[in-house]
Structure 1
């Protein structure tokens, strides 16, 4: 009888741990799905913005509108945006971007999405399946050029 009782307690404990694990995994997966949603609705307002690449050490929005850069103001993660090419041939080579980030801004022509999200074109730095970047504003560009920082 004692053995049965001990095995019953172990079985119930295991079952409770399994249920807790499944619930936590489900909550984590739902949070991942929420953060992975791609934006869908464009603003229909054509804009030209100048952005600077921010080399964060995380999977997060990594461009900031130059108009937000003010002396004495810290860059906040919430100020940053994702950028997304309108077509594959407009994709900016990451090596080029990396080497030009110190001397050039990026001038983009395009539209913001109304809703926040993570564009499918975003290249993740961390390969952790359930660690998606947080949603942010996304600018979908139709043209770009590198502009020397002194010219702005």
Structure 2
């Protein structure tokens, strides 16, 4: 037992409760905070390196191109739908106008038959007779002076 290696050396505690000579051990929270800071710095440096890499730029450009193509296709599809709706509205308006004209023509024909005793007069002749009556009522003085 006389050899030196078998003796134990104990540290003395100072008045503040720490060990003498060495720095106070760090708490688990401090160690965790330091580890988080180191990890954050490592992640930030790797992110910065990745953002400036050509592979990243190519991936972003590819995704942007795909998204633009998808949006363009959706926009063209929407335009086709709107075009079809507008064409349908125009067709319906044309049909309504044609139907209204046919109804008007039918009413005019019925009126001609009622006035003419069943004989249908051509449209131009009827208009001409109406114009002639209108002319004689408007200008009696001019006819008398001629």
Rg comparison, structure with higher value: 2
Do Structure 1 and Structure 2 share a fold, with TM-score over 0.5?
no
Which has the larger share of helix? Answer: 2
Q: Which has the higher contact order (CA 8 A, sep 6+)?
A: 1
Which has the larger share of strand? Answer: 1
Q: With structure 1 as the length reference, what TM-score do the two structures score? A: 0.32
Q: With structure 2 as the length reference, what TM-score do the two structures score? A: 0.33
